[in-house]
Structure 1
Amino acid sequence: MSEERVLATYVIETPYQLEHAAVVMAGEQSTGTFVSVPGETAFIKETYGANIVRITELEPAAAPSLPGCKPPRGDANPVYRRGEVVLSFPYHNFGPSIPNLLATVAGNLYELREFSGLRLVDLDVPVQFMEKYRGPQFGIAGTRELAGVTGRPLIGTIVKPSIGLSLAELQALVRELALAGIDFIKDDELNGNPPYAPLKDRVRAVMEEIERAADKTGKKVMYAFNITGDIDELRENHDVVVEAGGNCVMVGINSVGFAGVSHLRTFSQVPIHGHRNQWGAMTRSKALGMEFRVYQKLARLAGVDHLHTNGLDNKFYESNESVVRSVRDCLTPMFGDDTVMPVLSSGQWAGTAIDSYRAMQTVDVLHLAGGGIMAHPGGVAAGVESMKQGWEAALAGHSLGEYASTHVELRQAMEKFARP
């Protein structure tokens, strides 16, 4: 039987001794339960049981982070201990299966009453997973080749308003963006296959404008159509895009699941743009859920080529430090050179380019600005130009004000979007 193992790292909080809590974790997620059972033989424990690799004590919490924890009986003033726990699970318990892997490393653990906090912070899986899961098909290099962009980030936007545009209004917007030289456009995740503008009609309308603009400019914009739907709809939706000449599809990872993404990857002929909407429910509490480091590894295995990471100074709760870590995680190879393109979005505008480059030290990002382009005082085309100018300044080592003094679109963006 295989000796390969999966390593899962957690940060836990518990009113019990850390060693006791770790034993409970290992038993619950492998061969044990709350009470000894006759069938749990020494052979079964040794062959299929989870092992405790390491326990590192951290600073205790002043109070329980989550409700529902039951301290040891008779302990009126429990200490809520915190620690990092590394567990090792036999690979042969689940094999190369992301759904069953998740049932093991992120299953009932979150509900155990011994814990007032539990978070999966890292995950290492054996190379056998690549025998089934194909990973990114295009990744950074393939995306750059399709978009015709080298030496700088891809500049993109999200269709705004997110929903409600007629097909004629959408065509006019795509036409303006394409002729302005944008690299990438995506549907908003709210716009899937609505009755007022079915996906087939939207694809046809958009691709007519993209092809027409390409004839004039020689540049074919990459457009990520949102094909999220039930599993049996993914192939049909994908084929609608490809047959119309489309060059990217978008899927809500948490809506279709990793198994849905993996299914799409088996037949996709274009890059898969992975949107992480609903991610906040999985991670916003630091005492619960999982780190992005784990999430991106699973999404990468499943086959996304682009993955949202949030952006600096975003409109959401996430810190800049967390965003930078997420970008670096996406750019760290797992097996071979299978990196994914980090997607910066949320509250982005031309002025965030300099800080992004300084903090991330890479141009291998897709930088999306919705309002930062659509609401530019000089218009949509000026918004696209301002984003390019922001990155020109960043790569040349100029300050924003210095470069804006000779570039009107960047100056207008500063006047509109810069925070006091």
Structure 2
Amino acid sequence: MSDRFSADYILRTRGDAARTAEIAAGEQSSGTFVAIPGEDAALKERSAARVELLEQVEDPGTPAQTGSAGDGPVTSWRMRISWPLENIGPSLPNLVATVAGNLAELKQVAGLKITALDLPEAFLKAYPGPGFGTAGTRRLTGVADGPLIGTIVKPSVGLTPEGTATLVDALCAGGIDFIKDDELQADGPFCPFEDRFARVMDVIDRHADRLGRKVMYAVNITGEVDEMKRRHDIVAARGGTCVMASLNSVGLAGLTALRRHCSLPIHAHRNGWGMLGRPSDSGWSYPAWATLWRVAGVDHMHVNGIANKFWEPDESSVASARACLTPLHPDHPRTVMPVFSSGQTVLQADATYRAIGSTDLIFCAGGGVVAHPDGVAAGVHALRAAWEAAVAGIPLEQAAREDPRLAAAIRAFS
């Protein structure tokens, strides 16, 4: 059993890379900018961070970050630093303080991106991890095979509780598997949480009686910790099967508190992720950042999507999804379901399936369902048909020749 944890980085520096790496390791463990009493050899042996890897890689040639010291050329290095677990214990908030902390502020650093975390099993024993994951989500939705065909309530805000329920009624009638609130829809006076949720559940229960399965509704409970717990309890008591939280809004401590209280799957929304992941030479890679939330215990994680409406390249979204589908540890095999969203339509189903090679995912199309020219039910049908064609290896245009609703979707979203 390892008694150390580590983080991988891409380090950019104008100076001596080995010296910069040692400064970084010292800054985030037993050292500081000057030798101090008490920092003897025994203490360093027990508590100091170690530079385990320093390997030069091609530098992208982008400008150095503001305030970086030195006048030499910027070079890039793959760096791994490890720490003794006894420095912090298995604590996610203190893990972040250690592996991120002040490192990006060092003037010797011209760029720093966290690319991976390697955590000992102690973290996975200290935190509950996903309560449902892929298998539990399939059990609750009654969808044993294929992707969960999902959508987002659109418009994002502005619908009344009655208007939301009317849209959900059409979605359920069309055969949707999964519906989520937009992350902007919370508990405002125009569409209060309790009224919206109650009306939506009336619709879902009515369709469940007809279908023999309950559409999963990820209702947004983001808020203060006590608010999230209270809202969760309302959802659970009413027979709801999912709650949604915005990760960057509630933080690791808030999400962990919710998870320890929670008896339902947690649909994790990553809004705000672009500030952490978009810079090419700073912040976090998605797989590294997702590790934190997977240990804390989310069940679904947004990974953007292929040909999305945002900045992220396809290979990044694909790598994020594959990371979600890979167990963190052999003794903890529960995976989380990647959620594809952001401008998704029937046009991305085949490429997504070929890239991932799995249907253990939630494919959420907001406008790609709701804006179908023949109505919401036709949008649900077309999206499911596109995925069935992808899994069967049938070209989309060929499938559309015998399916007018799919053909209409292709015309509308091309």
Q: Secondary structure at the match of 2:346?
A: coil
User: Displacement, 1:3?
Assistant: 6.3
The residue that corresponds to 2:343 in the other structure is 347
- Distance in 2 (alpha carbons) for counterparts of 1:323 and 1:121: 15
User: Displacement, 1:217?
Assistant: 2.4
The residue that corresponds to 2:382 in the other structure is 386
Question: Structure 2 counterpart of 1:289, which letter?
Answer: G
The residue that corresponds to 2:140 in the other structure is 146
Q: Secondary structure at the match of 1:36?
A: coil
The residue that corresponds to 1:361 in the other structure is 357
- Distance in 1 (alpha carbons) for counterparts of 2:315 and 2:264: 32
User: Displacement, 1:215?
Assistant: 1.7
Which shows bigger deviation, 247-256 or 2-11? 2-11
- Distance in 1 (alpha carbons) for counterparts of 2:2 and 2:403: 61
Question: Is residue 105 of structure 2 the alignment partner of residue 106 of structure 1?
Answer: no
User: Displacement, 1:265?
Assistant: 1.1
Question: Is residue 202 of structure 2 the alignment partner of residue 208 of structure 1?
Answer: yes
Q: Could you tell me whether the CA contact under 8 Å between 1:179 and 1:217 is conserved in 2?
A: no
The residue that corresponds to 1:277 in the other structure is 271
- Distance in 1 (alpha carbons) for counterparts of 2:243 and 2:2: 38
Question: Structure 2 counterpart of 1:174, which letter?
Answer: V
Question: Is residue 369 of structure 2 the alignment partner of residue 373 of structure 1?
Answer: yes
The residue that corresponds to 1:48 in the other structure is 47
User: Displacement, 1:244?
Assistant: 1.4
What is the number of equivalent residue pairs in this alignment? 412
Q: Secondary structure at the match of 2:406?
A: helix
Question: Is residue 280 of structure 2 the alignment partner of residue 286 of structure 1?
Answer: yes
Question: Is residue 298 of structure 2 the alignment partner of residue 299 of structure 1?
Answer: no
Question: Structure 1 counterpart of 2:13, which letter?
Answer: T
Where structure 2 has 5 or more consecutive residues not aligned to the other structure, the ranges are none
Question: Is residue 300 of structure 2 the alignment partner of residue 309 of structure 1?
Answer: no
The residue that corresponds to 2:158 in the other structure is 164
Root-mean-square deviation over aligned CA pairs: 1.1
Name which of 400, 404, 408 aligns with 1:404.
400
Q: Within 5 Å, give how 1:320-331 maps onto structure 2.
A: 320-331=314-325
Change (3 A) 1:3 1:148: closer
The residue that corresponds to 1:23 in the other structure is 22
Q: Could you tell me whether the CA contact under 8 Å between 2:116 and 2:285 is conserved in 1?
A: yes
- Distance in 2 (alpha carbons) for counterparts of 1:187 and 1:255: 16
- Distance in 2 (alpha carbons) for counterparts of 1:231 and 1:19: 43
Deviation sequence 1:294-319 (CA, Å, 0-9, x none) = 11111100100000001100000000
The residue that corresponds to 1:57 in the other structure is 56
User: Displacement, 1:281?
Assistant: 0.3
- Distance in 2 (alpha carbons) for counterparts of 1:62 and 1:237: 49
- Distance in 1 (alpha carbons) for counterparts of 2:101 and 2:294: 20
- Distance in 2 (alpha carbons) for counterparts of 1:196 and 1:4: 52
Deviation sequence 1:138-182 (CA, Å, 0-9, x none) = 000000011011220000000000111011111110111111110
Question: Structure 2 counterpart of 1:34, which letter?
Answer: F
- Distance in 2 (alpha carbons) for counterparts of 1:306 and 1:140: 8
Q: Could you tell me whether the CA contact under 8 Å between 1:65 and 1:287 is conserved in 2?
A: no
Deviation sequence 1:65-95 (CA, Å, 0-9, x none) = 3211121xxxxx4121110111110100000
User: Displacement, 1:262?
Assistant: 1.2
Question: Structure 2 counterpart of 1:161, which letter?
Answer: P
Q: Could you tell me whether the CA contact under 8 Å between 1:30 and 1:49 is conserved in 2?
A: yes
Name which of 173, 178, 189 aligns with 1:179.
173
Question: Structure 1 counterpart of 2:321, which letter?
Answer: V
User: Displacement, 1:51?
Assistant: 0.5
Where structure 1 has 5 or more consecutive residues not aligned to the other structure, the ranges are 72-76
- Distance in 2 (alpha carbons) for counterparts of 1:170 and 1:376: 18
Deviation sequence 1:235-254 (CA, Å, 0-9, x none) = 10101111111110000011
Q: Could you tell me whether the CA contact under 8 Å between 1:203 and 1:240 is conserved in 2?
A: no
User: Displacement, 1:372?
Assistant: 0.2
